[in-house]
């Protein structure tokens, strides 16, 4: 039996900071998964990153995606879950394709948009939902509360649909989601309820936070499912490993480009490299919310507030929640509010990581150029990723194997695509009937008293 990995809080060193009582203990994966965040509002990190020999990665050539997921997840979870249980979770979670589309020479787009809600968030949400079900107390219901501005809510909602012992309540801002996003959220049904709030995304997040700190709900087993949960980071290591194994020749390293907002996806690549995967460089382009590229260039961190509204709307983040993890991996500390307590090792960071801000103008030009030149269809997030890769290669010269991530399906952005290319992107199988679906969400005003009453009347405590 291998030794269990323990998880610590990124805030553990923060003595003498008003309002923070550093959490110096460590917890198991199960506890990190069910707690979501550390009690001092830091993020959980594994004490040690398991490494694998190069041969283990190379042996995944021609293997299924589930085989790669098993290799990575078992390295973290051995000792906490039975091997067959983990295998069953993975086989059930990953029942869709992961296309690697050639653009030119050995430059590829990895399409992470074939899951049920057509964004890469399906990969993490589906595995996390099943792990939560496996790790939760039998006989006691787990109540997941999520505030969403789009992709997270539908991915999480769909992932938990029909999962035993768990109920999900999703709050979204009525006026800030697209028509198709609203349909995706409202029509999940069963154990997943959508609450349409008359307010903004921040209001939804505040309602959820108030419920989490309300003593009346202490016995309700509330938990969150947003990207600060390590249970969502772990599955995001897998596709880097799998793609490298399929495309690498003789163990050569690859460059990955990961369009980033909260940097949870990019973190998956950083962990993959630290597990031993040959990653030449992690390129993590952003949209016009350029706080991270600016930090890498100048060494000064300044969040963008309020965040800028760009076409790649899932990346409109002015202070990324996963920055605390990225800093911690390079011996730095930044807190939830964006204050840097210890500057990370910048030389080391620059050796492994490159980041660049891509404007909306460059984003649309890239969508058009790549379609005209190669007949490869990108949506705004994927275009930021691809353009960032190009900028990096222009600086450094060519590297043969490069893989850029497409994080959403172009059909999620029909207006942008129609306007730029004059075509209507085909809906993926999972979204074929989306325009005909109709659901009726719970309608609430932005008022904690009303939300509280709604939860008291509707949450189930025991099975």
Ligand X SMILES: *Cc1c(COP(=O)(O)O)cnc(C)c1O
Closer to ligand X by Cβ: residue 186 or 406: 406
Of 323, 408, 434, 455, the residue at the interface with ligand X (CB under 6 A) is 408
Q: Which among 65-73, 259-267, 302-310, 362-370 is the span making contact with ligand X, rule CB under 6 A? A: 259-267
Residues 96, 87: Cα–Cα separation, whole Å: 16
Element (H, E) at 435: none
Report the alpha-carbon angle 79-84-89, nearest 5: 100
List the one residue out of 322, 295, 320 whose CA is nearest residue 307: 320
Closer to ligand X by Cβ: residue 26 or 355: 355
Residues 208, 171: Cα–Cα separation, whole Å: 8
* Contacts (CB under 6 A) with ligand X, residues 213-242: 227
Least distance to ligand X, CB of residue 252, Å: 26
Quick check: 38 and 31 in contact, CB under 8 A?
no
381 binds ligand X (CB under 6 A): yes
Closer to ligand X by Cβ: residue 227 or 404: 227
Q: Tokens 């074939």 belong to which residue?
A: 114
User: 406 phi and psi, to 5 degrees?
Assistant: -100, 115
Q: Which among 129-137, 215-223, 255-263, 450-458 is the span making contact with ligand X, rule CB under 6 A? A: 255-263
Closer to ligand X by Cβ: residue 40 or 379: 379
| Number of alpha helices (DSSP H) and beta strands (DSSP E) in the chain | 18, 15
The token duo for 351 is 């050796």
Catalytic residue among 61, 107, 121, 453: 121
Of 115, 116, 173, 261, the residue at the interface with ligand X (CB under 6 A) is 261
With CB under 6 A, what is the number of residues at the site for ligand X? Answer: 17
- DSSP β-ladder status, 340-342 and 333-334: antiparallel
182 is catalytic: no
Least distance to ligand X, CB of residue 457, Å: 32
Least distance to ligand X, CB of residue 118, Å: 9
199 binds ligand X (CB under 6 A): no
Of 196, 262, 289, 430, the residue at the interface with ligand X (CB under 6 A) is 262
Closer to ligand X by Cβ: residue 191 or 236: 236
Q: Which residues are paired to 462 by β-bridges?
A: 140
Q: What share of the chain is helix, strand, coil (3-state, %, to 5)?
A: 45, 15, 40
290 binds ligand X (CB under 6 A): no
Report the alpha-carbon angle 112-83-146, nearest 5: 45
Q: Tokens 């550390």 belong to which residue?
A: 38
Of 407, 416, 430, 446, the residue at the interface with ligand X (CB under 6 A) is 407
Least distance to ligand X, CB of residue 124, Å: 9
Instruction: Report how far apart the first and last C-alpha atoms of the chain are (Å, whole number).
Output: 33
* Contacts (CB under 6 A) with ligand X, residues 9-38: none
**Residue 129: how many CA atoms within 13 Å on its side-chain side?**
31
Q: Which among 38-46, 98-106, 178-186, 263-271 is the span making contact with ligand X, rule CB under 6 A? A: 263-271
Of 38, 43, 314, 378, the residue at the interface with ligand X (CB under 6 A) is 314
Measured from the Cβ of residue 376, the count of other Cβ atoms closer than 10 Å reads 18
313 binds ligand X (CB under 6 A): no
Q: Which residues are paired to 143 by β-bridges?
A: 167, 222
Closer to ligand X by Cβ: residue 40 or 151: 151
List the one residue out of 16, 4, 2 whose CA is nearest residue 335: 16
Q: How many residues does the chain have?
A: 463
Closer to ligand X by Cβ: residue 136 or 184: 184
Q: Which among 241-249, 260-268, 300-308, 416-424 is the span making contact with ligand X, rule CB under 6 A? A: 260-268
112 binds ligand X (CB under 6 A): no
* Contacts (CB under 6 A) with ligand X, residues 148-177: 151
User: 353 phi and psi, to 5 degrees?
Assistant: -125, 140
Q: What residues act catalytically?
A: 121
Could you list the residues that contact ligand X (CB under 6 A)? 119, 121, 151, 227, 259-266, 314-315, 381, 407-408
């Amino acid at each position: 039996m291998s030794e269990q990995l323990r998880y610590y809080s990124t805030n553990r060193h923060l003595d003498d900071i008003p309002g923070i009582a550093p959490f110096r203990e460590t917890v198991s994966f199960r506890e990190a998964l069910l707690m979501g965040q550390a009690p001092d509002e830091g993020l959980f990190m594994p004490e040690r990153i398991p490494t694998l020999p190069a041969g283990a990665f190379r042996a995944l050539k021609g293997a299924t995606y589930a085989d790669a997921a098993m290799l990575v997840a078992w390295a973290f979870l051995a000792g906490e879950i039975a091997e067959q249980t983990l295998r069953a979770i993975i086989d059930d979670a990953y029942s869709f394709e992961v296309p690697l589309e050639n653009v030119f020479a050995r430059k590829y787009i990895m399409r992470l948009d074939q899951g049920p809600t057509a964004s890469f968030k399906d990969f993490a949400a589906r595995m996390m939902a099943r792990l939560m079900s496996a790790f939760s107390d039998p006989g006691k219901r787990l109540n997941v509360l999520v505030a969403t501005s789009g992709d997270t809510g539908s991915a999480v909602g769909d992932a938990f649909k029909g999962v035993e012992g768990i109920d999900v309540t999703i709050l979204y801002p009525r006026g800030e989601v697209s028509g198709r996003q609203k349909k995706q959220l409202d029509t999940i049904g069963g154990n997943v309820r959508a609450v349409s709030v008359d307010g903004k995304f921040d209001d939804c997040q505040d309602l959820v936070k108030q419920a989490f700190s309300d003593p009346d709900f202490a016995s309700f087993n509330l938990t969150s499912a947003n990207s600060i949960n390590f249970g969502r980071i772990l599955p995001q290591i897998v596709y880097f490993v799998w793609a490298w194994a399929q495309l690498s020749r003789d163990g050569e390293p690859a460059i990955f480009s990961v369009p980033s907002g909260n940097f949870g996806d990019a973190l998956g690549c950083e962990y993959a490299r630290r597990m031993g995967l040959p990653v030449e460089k992690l390129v993590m382009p952003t949209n016009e919310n350029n706080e991270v590229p600016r930090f890498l260039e100048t060494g000064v961190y300044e969040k963008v507030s309020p965040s800028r509204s760009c076409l790649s709307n899932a990346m409109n983040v002015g202070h990324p929640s996963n920055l605390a993890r990225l800093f911690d991996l390079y011996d730095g500390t930044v807190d939830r509010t964006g204050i840097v307590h210890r500057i990370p090792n910048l030389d080391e960071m620059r050796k492994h990581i490159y980041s660049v801000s891509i404007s909306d103008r460059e984003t649309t030009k890239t969508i058009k150029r790549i379609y005209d030149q190669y007949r490869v269809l990108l949506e705004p997030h994927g275009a930021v990723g691809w353009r960032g890769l190009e900028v990096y290669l222009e600086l450094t010269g060519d590297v043969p194997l490069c893989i850029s991530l497409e994080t959403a399906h172009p059909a999620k952005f029909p207006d942008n695509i129609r306007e730029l290319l004059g075509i209507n992107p085909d809906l993926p199988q999972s979204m074929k009937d989306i325009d005909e679906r109709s659901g009726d969400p719970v309608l609430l005003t932005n008022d904690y008293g009303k939300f509280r009453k709604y939860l008291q009347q509707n949450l189930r405590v025991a099975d």
